Structures are given as structure tokens and as C-alpha cells.
């Protein structure tokens, strides 16, 4: 019996070989197709719209270059990848139709067929070889699959999970690549307590009250790490549960399959909120975070994982460059640079990218494209985007000035400004600090605590120590900071900011000596001079700005006389944008305001020099025939406007001036108004991590979720 089977196999094999030979060239055709599908080397993104774009107006390149609708069809992939995908689809169709045609050759069920064995063998052999060709081509073709990413924004005042999805393409023998233009935010989780608050609470228990004012023994505090680990596990677990449910509700069935197969990488990053915190404490926190992510069981079938590169504190440079990448990615400028480089078009990157000024809660980032031919002073550090790993070799050389300033975020700047202003003898008289950045008739207790204006029009200052806006600065300028004992310049910058770093308590450091009351004088000109002297162009760097000093500029005021840029500029941050919008509503600034210092000065003088009036339970500022009701946010608008005016004035004093300036917390198409995404660092962080395809492929696919499964057993 066995011999008969082998005889049949031999006969069929011989007939098949004759059929392939009779269909001349089929084997060669298969080989040729494989070569065609294997040559998927190019990563140049195919443009949807080849038309030129007015960079000066921050116009995006084409429609939906950045964010896409969740249901949008992915039409654009690398050119060769796109061709191969199309060929593979055609081959699949051919194979399917061929299989149906074979069945069609036979007659109705039970009927005799007139097709002879030789003729039928020829047709079957032809279709068999065509089907084999299709299958071989499919094996060599690219495969597009969805991947989910969880980014957790550990900001200075809150922590928030944000979910993204993106399309990836895999090719035989090549690292799986992320199609950057498909990165899309699909949802946000609820806001939780900030990372700094978690660490401070931990030290309150582990080190005891008053730890901010004495040297900390890290060796002893390590014994308390299990308590931190338990707290972090609960904190992180809640965000993972929320993210898993969001993915289950949002992704399509096909997207869920591949997202679960890949696992979900987690990027948990903190920025200025803990950048000035004890390094060993922040490092311990992220060790606990990484373990909490990696040991957490799958949620709705999604396995989350992370590693030391994805989950950590970002430097000021990284925060600024990531915000820069976000803006230029969403506007399509990065893609255009990549396309031009692939086509051999000579491009001056600094003329085709947008700069950014980002004002957060604790820090301000300034990122400007500069010509690659510019030779800055030896003391100035310039970011080389390709060499420093922010962009791949597909791009032309891109150089940036990227610098972050601690204490210049909205909350920190308010505290530092009051401390500096009310410490000046000419401002402080008989216990009353006269503040030109507050409207006349406005009064508050002398404290850097947050201000609340009640529905009854009462101004209340929160005296709780942990809420004081000077607390981060005063903590840095305390003996718990190792640099206080080690570096003379650290002690010097603290004293210049009005804080004695030794021999006093945290409460004493946040107080404003001899001051009991603050009253507004409503003088925008004086406000501008004070903001410049205290915040933007102070005699010494503000505390905790070691990184900025290392880059070569102690204060923002020093930058623009040395390095400047004509690139269009996006200024973002609620504390900058919303006061300008209030001037729009009052009819003092045009809706299309584009950074004119003359226009801003005229509008701000009219608003800030107008006194405040009490009307019933409301505190009102009237300008002409319109009014603005002061609340917990708008009462400081004049300080914010002076900050913006001073910064713009400094920018315009440079050799090169921005060709345009836009103010927004969102990045939108200026023609259609369609929102492309939020300004800030998160999207840029994903763009940066996925640039190096080999590194990302190893991190996200080779190790990935499977690597993290073993953590629970270690």
C-alpha cells in the first residue's frame, strides 16, 4: 500500500514539473516578483499635496498631516511599501479568483466533464503556479498593523494618562517601522495628583517633618522604599485599568488584535515638576513605576510594559525639543523636510521649521531653529538633531537652540516675582508691597499662596504651606538639596532670589519678610521693567537653572543678542494665551494678533492702568464700554501680559526676527481652522522614540510585552 502511495506521488510530481515547464518562465516570474517585493528600502513618505506651503503662516502641509480621524483610512505609507502593499492586494485578488476559476471548469454536480486529463492538468498546473506566486509575494510584502501607546504626563501639578494609536509596517528582514503621520491621540484619562506631591508625601512619612531644611541620608531612606513601591503600584494600576478600558472601547476589532499582540508600550515622563528634586528620590520613584507597569496583569487583553528609556524624568532640552517636534510634526514640516531630502532637494531646515516658546507650570522652554552654518560661541550648546538622536538619517541636518528655564513656568514665576518684588525697599513701605502688575484698588494678603476670589467678591489667599507657589523654589534652596552644601553658585542664586538657604525652616523661606499686605498700583510700564529685572534678565540665574547655565545662557535676556532665528514662532501655554484672548474680547487686540509689541503695549496699558471697581459681588475692570470680571485666574493677567511683552521685545532685538508669531494652546490649520492636535511635548516624545527603527523595534517588538511578563517572578 505504501509503495502505491509513493508511486502516485512520483507521477504527480513528474506531471507537475512538465506543467511548470510547459507554462514557460513561471518560476522566473515568481523569482522576479519576490525581488520586487523584497526591495522595500525607501522610507520616504509620499506627499498627498505637492503644492508649496507658506511656512511663515504656520500652514500645515496638506490636509491632516498630523492628527487623523480614528476611522480615517491609512492611505500613505513609504513609497515602496505602498507599491508592495498594492501589489500584494492585487495578487491576493488574483489568487482568490484563480481558485474560483478552477472550480468553474467542472460541470454541474454529478455531470460528466469533457475536459481531458492532459488539458485539466495544464489548467490546474497553471493556476497552482499562479497561486504559489501570490503566496510567495505575500510573504515578502509589507504588513501594516495598528499599535497602541500609553503616554503618562507627569506634570508639575497633575498626572494624566493619554492614549495614542499609530500604524506600523513590518517588512521581511527589516525592523518594523512606525508611520509617523498616523500617530493619533484617541483619548485622555482623568487627572491625578502630581508626581511631586507623591514624592513630598513619601518624604513626609519616611524622613519626618521638616525634611526640606536638613540634609537627607539617602542610605537610610532606601529602607522605606517598599512603602513608596506600594503607593506607586496603586497609583499606576488605576491608570492602566483606565487605559485598557479606553482601548477596548475605542479601537476597531482589527486594531485590537494587533495592539494586543504587540502589547502596549508605556511612556511615563515627568518634566520640570521634579527636575529639581533629589535625583535619588526621583530615580527610586521611576523604578517603582516601571515595576508597577510590568507586573500589572493584562487589562481587557492589553499587556502594558515599559523600560528605563521610556519611563524617566525628561531633561529641559528633551522637553523643549519634544514640544518642537510635536508642532512641526502636526504642521507637516518634518515630513516635507524628509521628502525633500529623499528627492535631492536642497533645503535650509531653519527656514522651513517653526520655533516654539512653551510656558508650563514650572518651566519655560525656548526652541529655535538656527542655520547649520552658524558658529555659536564655544560656551553655547546647540542641539544637532540627527547626531543627538532626535531625527533619523532620512532628514537633512537640523540644528536647534533648545533651552529650558526653571522658575519661569506660570506658577513658579508668580511666586518668584512676588518674592523679588516685595523684597525691594522701594516697593515695600510700612509693611505694604506696592505691585504695579495688579490693578489699582486690588488688595490681598502678602503671600505667594494661590488666590481665590469668592462669588461674594472676597479675595482669599491660601496660607497652606504645601500650596505656596514658592514651595518648589524654597525646597530647592534648602539644606535637603546636596548642592547647597556642595556648590557656592547654588547658594548665591538662592540668595539673589531673596531666599537664605541655610539656618531656617521651609515656612520662613516662603515668607516675604516684613510684608503684610499687597496693593495694586496698575502701572504696565513699571510692571514690564520689574518682570525684566526679576524674571527674564536678572543679574543672576534663577535657582535650579544649572542646565540652562550649562547651555550658555543664564537668563532668557542673554539669548537673542547671540543667537536669533527668522523661523515662524508658536508661543503656547495657557498663562500666555488666555490673557491675550481677554484683550481680544475687550476689543483691545485684533483676533489675528501676530506678535506686534506696539499693539500689545497699547492694549496692555489701556487694560492694566484701568482701576478695579467693586460692583455688587463682582470685582470688575472696565475699559471703554466693556468689562472683565476678575477671578482666580484673570487677576494676574497684567503680570502675564508683561511677561509676554518683555519676551517679544527681547526676541525682536535679535539680528533675525521671527517672520510670524502665533499664540495658541492648540495647533490648527489656519485656513480651515481644523484642529490638528494639542501643543506640548507628548506627541513629539513618541516621534523621537520611534525615529530609531532598530532601537524601537528591539524595545517594542523584540523585547516588548513578552519581556515584562517575567517581572512578577523576579
What's the mean pLDDT in 470-498? 94
Q: How many helices (H) and strands (E) does the chain have?
A: 25, 25
What is d(CA 592, CA 584) in angstroms, rounded to the nearest whole number?
9
Q: Among 597, 577, 639, 607, which residue's Cα sits nearest to residue 448? A: 639
Q: Which residue numbers belong to the known binding site for ATP?
A: 361-365
Q: Among 334, 323, 321, which residue's Cα sits nearest to residue 401? A: 321
User: Does residue 399 surpass a pLDDT of 90?
Assistant: yes
223-257: b (≥16 Cβ within 10 Å) or e = eeeeebbebbbebbbebbebbbebbeeebeeebbe
Q: Which of 7-16, 105-114, 253-262, 690-699 has the highest mean pLDDT?
A: 253-262
What per-residue confidence (pLDDT) applies to 60?
56
What's the mean pLDDT in 498-505? 93
Q: In 3-state terms, what secondary structure has residue 61?
A: coil
CB 535 within 8 A of CB 640: no
What is d(CA 369, CA 383) in angstroms, rounded to the nearest whole number?
9
User: Does residue 96 surpass a pLDDT of 90?
Assistant: no
Q: Among 420, 402, 356, 359, which residue's Cα sits nearest to residue 548? A: 402
What is d(CA 441, CA 459) in angstroms, rounded to the nearest whole number?
12
Using one digit for the tens of pLDDT, what is the confidence trace for 544-603? Answer: 999 999 999 999 999 998 899 999 999 999 999 999 999 999 999 999 999 999 999 999
User: Does residue 61 surpass a pLDDT of 90?
Assistant: no
What per-residue confidence (pLDDT) applies to 122?
57
Find residue 177's DSSP bridge partners.
Answer: 169
Helix, strand, coil shares of the chain, percent, nearest 5, are: 45, 15, 35
What per-residue confidence (pLDDT) applies to 38?
37
Average pLDDT, the chain: 84
51-60, 172-181, 447-456: least confident range: 51-60
What per-residue confidence (pLDDT) applies to 125?
62
Q: Among 322, 362, 410, 379, which residue's Cα sits nearest to residue 685? A: 322
What per-residue confidence (pLDDT) applies to 710?
58
What per-residue confidence (pLDDT) applies to 19?
41
Q: Among 260, 287, 318, 146, which residue's Cα sits nearest to residue 687? A: 318
72-81, 426-435, 660-669: least confident range: 72-81
Q: Do domains 145-314+681-713 and 410-668 have the same CATH topology?
A: yes
User: Does residue 52 surpass a pLDDT of 60?
Assistant: no
183-197, 299-313, 364-378, 663-677: least confident range: 663-677
Q: Report the predicted TM-score, pTM, of the whole model to 2 decimal places.
A: 0.83
- Percentage of the chain exceeding pLDDT 90: 68
What per-residue confidence (pLDDT) applies to 447?
98
Q: How would you classify the pairing of strands 264-270 and 312-313?
A: parallel
Rounded to 5 degrees, what angle do the CA atoms 349, 334, 696 make? 120
Q: How would you classify the pairing of strands 618-623 and 612-615?
A: antiparallel
What per-residue confidence (pLDDT) applies to 127?
66
What per-residue confidence (pLDDT) applies to 128?
62
CB 366 within 8 A of CB 320: yes
Helix locations, 174-265, DSSP H: 195-206, 218-221, 225-250, 253-262
Q: Which residue numbers belong to the known binding site?
A: 361-365
Grid cell digits, residue 461? 489667599
User: At how many degrees (to 10) do helices 682-691 and 316-330 cross?
Assistant: 90
Going by pLDDT thresholds of 50, 70 and 90, the confidence category of residue 80 is very low
- The CATH classification of domain 410-668, taken from the options 3.40.50.150, 3.40.190.10, 3.40.50.720, 3.30.420.540: 3.30.420.540
User: Does residue 110 surpass a pLDDT of 60?
Assistant: no
Domain boundaries, the chain: 2-38+62-100+118-141, 145-314+681-713, 410-668
What per-residue confidence (pLDDT) applies to 3?
53
CB count within 10 Å of CB 174 equals 17
What per-residue confidence (pLDDT) applies to 711?
59
What's the mean pLDDT in 307-319? 96
What's the mean pLDDT in 30-38? 36
174-178, 315-319, 475-479: least confident range: 174-178
User: Does residue 606 surpass a pLDDT of 50?
Assistant: yes
Q: Please, what sign has the CA dihedral across residues 381, 385, 387, 389?
A: positive
Going by pLDDT thresholds of 50, 70 and 90, the confidence category of residue 712 is low
What per-residue confidence (pLDDT) applies to 670?
63
Grid cell digits, residue 401? 537652540
What per-residue confidence (pLDDT) applies to 6?
46
What per-residue confidence (pLDDT) applies to 88?
38
Per the annotation, the verdict on 526 as an active-site residue is no
139-148, 508-517, 637-646: least confident range: 139-148
User: Does residue 639 surpass a pLDDT of 70?
Assistant: yes
Instruction: Label residue 355 left, alpha or beta by phi (over 0 means left) and psi (-120 to 50 means alpha).
Output: beta
Q: 76, 319, 511, 547: which is the annotated catalytic residue? A: 319
What per-residue confidence (pLDDT) applies to 537?
96
- The CATH classification of domain 145-314+681-713, taken from the options 3.30.750.24, 3.30.420.130, 3.30.70.260, 3.30.420.530: 3.30.420.530
Using one digit for the tens of pLDDT, what is the confidence trace for 247-281? Answer: 999 999 999 999 999 999 999 999 999 999 888 89
7-21, 121-135, 405-419: least confident range: 7-21
What's the mean pLDDT in 644-652? 96
What's the mean pLDDT in 345-361? 90
CB 181 within 8 A of CB 296: no
CB 392 within 8 A of CB 425: no
- The total number of residues shown for the chain amounts to 714
Amino acid at each position: 500500500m505504501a509503495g502505491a502511495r509513493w508511486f502516485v506521488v512520483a507521477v504527480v510530481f513528474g506531471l507537475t514539473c512538465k506543467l511548470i515547464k510547459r507554462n514557460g518562465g513561471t518560476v522566473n516570474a515568481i523569482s522576479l516578483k519576490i525581488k520586487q517585493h523584497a526591495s522595500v528600502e525607501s522610507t520616504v513618505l509620499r506627499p498627498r499635496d505637492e503644492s508649496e506651503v507658506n511656512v511663515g503662516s504656520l500652514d500645515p502641509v496638506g490636509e491632516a498631516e498630523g492628527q487623523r480621524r480614528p476611522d480615517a483610512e491609512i492611505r500613505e505609507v513609504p513609497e515602496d511599501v505602498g507599491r508592495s502593499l498594492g501589489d500584494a492586494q492585487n495578487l491576493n485578488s488574483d489568487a482568490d479568483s484563480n481558485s474560483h476559476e478552477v472550480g468553474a471548469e467542472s460541470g454541474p454536480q454529478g455531470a460528466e466533464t469533457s475536459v481531458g486529463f492532459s488539458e485539466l492538468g495544464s489548467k490546474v498546473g497553471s493556476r497552482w503556479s499562479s497561486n504559489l506566486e501570490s503566496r510567495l509575494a505575500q510573504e515578502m510584502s509589507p504588513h501594516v498593523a495598528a499599535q497602541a501607546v500609553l503616554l503618562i504626563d507627569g506634570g508639575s501639578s497633575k498626572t494624566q494618562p493619554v492614549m495614542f494609536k499609530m500604524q506600523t509596517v513590518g517588512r521581511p528582514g527589516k525592523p518594523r517601522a512606525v508611520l509617523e503621520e498616523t500617530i493619533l491621540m484617541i483619548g485622555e484619562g482623568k487627572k491625578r495628583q502630581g508626581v511631586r506631591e507623591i514624592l513630598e508625601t513619601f518624604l513626609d512619612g519616611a524622613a519626618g517633618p521638616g525634611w526640606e531644611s536638613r540634609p537627607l541620608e539617602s542610605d537610610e531612606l532606601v529602607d522605606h522604599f517598599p512603602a513608596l513601591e506600594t503607593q506607586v503600584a496603586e497609583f499606576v494600576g488605576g491608570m492602566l485599568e483606565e487605559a485598557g478600558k479606553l482601548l477596548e472601547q475605542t479601537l476597531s476589532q482589527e486594531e485590537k488584535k494587533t495592539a494586543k499582540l504587540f502589547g502596549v508600550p508605556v511612556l511615563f515622563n515627568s518634566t520640570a515638576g521634579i527636575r529639581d528634586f533629589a535625583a535619588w528620590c526621583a530615580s527610586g520613584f521611576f523604578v517603582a513605576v516601571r515595576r508597577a507597569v510590568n507586573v500589572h496583569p493584562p487589562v481587557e487583553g492589553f499587556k502594558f510594559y515599559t523600560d528605563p528609556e521610556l519611563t524617566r524624568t525628561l531633561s529641559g532640552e528633551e522637553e523643549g525639543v519634544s514640544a518642537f517636534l510635536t508642532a512641526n510634526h502636526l504642521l507637516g514640516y518634518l515630513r516635507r523636510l524628509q521628502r525633500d531630502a529623499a528627492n535631492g532637494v536642497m533645503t535650509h531646515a531653519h527656514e522651513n521649521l517653526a520655533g516654539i516658546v512653551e510656558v508650563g507650570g514650572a518651566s519655560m522652554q525656548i526652541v529655535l531653529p538656527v542655520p547649520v552654518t552658524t558658529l555659536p560661541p564655544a560656551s553655547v550648546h546647540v542641539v544637532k538633531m540627527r547626531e543627538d538622536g532626535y531625527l533619523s538619517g532620512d532628514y537633512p541636518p537640523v540644528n536647534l537652540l533648545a533651552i529650558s528655564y526653571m522658575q519661569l513656568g506660570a506658577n513658579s514665576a508668580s511666586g518668584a516675582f512676588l518674592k523679588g518684588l516685595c523684597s525691594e525697599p522701594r516697593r515695600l513701605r510700612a509693611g505694604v508691597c506696592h505691585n504695579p502688575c495688579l490693578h489699582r484698588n486690588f488688595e490681598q494678603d502678602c503671600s505667594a499662596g494661590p488666590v481665590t476670589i469668592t462669588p461674594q467678591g472676597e479675595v482669599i489667599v491660601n496660607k497652606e504651606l504645601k500650596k505656596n507657589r514658592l514651595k518648589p523654589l524654597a525646597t530647592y534652596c534648602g539644606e535637603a538639596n546636596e548642592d547647597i552644601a556642595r556648590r557656592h553658585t547654588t547658594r548665591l542664586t538662592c540668595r539673589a532670589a531673596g531666599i537664605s538657604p541655610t539656618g531656617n525652616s521651609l515656612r520662613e523661606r516662603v515668607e516675604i519678610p516684613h510684608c503684610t499686605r499687597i496693593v495694586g498700583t496698575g502701572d504696565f510700564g513699571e510692571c514690564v521693567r520689574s518682570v525684566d529685572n526679576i524674571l527674564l534678565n536678572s543679574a543672576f540665574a534663577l535657582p535650579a537653572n544649572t542646565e540652562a547655565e550649562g547651555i550658555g545662557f543664564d537668563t532668557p535676556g542673554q539669548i537673542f543678542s547671540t543667537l536669533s532665528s527668522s523661523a515662524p514662532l508658536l508661543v503656547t501655554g495657557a498663562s500666555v494665551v488666555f490673557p491675550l484672548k481677554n484683550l481680544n474680547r475687550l476689543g483691545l487686540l485684533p483676533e489675528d494678533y501676530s506678535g506686534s509689541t506696539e499693539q500689545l503695549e497699547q492694549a496692555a496699558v489701556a487694560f492694566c492702568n484701568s482701576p478695579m471697581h467693586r460692583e455688587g459681588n463682582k470685582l470688575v475692570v472696565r475699559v471703554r464700554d466693556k468689562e472683565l470680571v476678575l477671578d482666580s485666574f484673570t487677576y494676574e493677567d497684567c503680570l502675564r501680559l508683561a511677561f509676554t511683552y518683555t519676551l517679544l521685545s527681547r526676541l525682536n532685538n535679535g539680528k533675525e526676527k521671527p517672520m510670524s508669531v502665533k499664540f495658541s494652546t492648540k495647533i490648527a490649520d489656519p485656513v480651515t481652522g481644523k484642529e490638528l492636535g494639542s501643543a506640548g511635548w507628548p506627541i513629539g516624545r513618541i516621534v523621537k522614540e520611534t525615529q530609531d527603527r532598530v532601537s524601537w523595534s528591539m524595545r517594542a517588538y523584540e523585547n516588548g510585552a513578552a519581556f515584562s511578563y517575567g517581572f512578577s517572578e523576579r
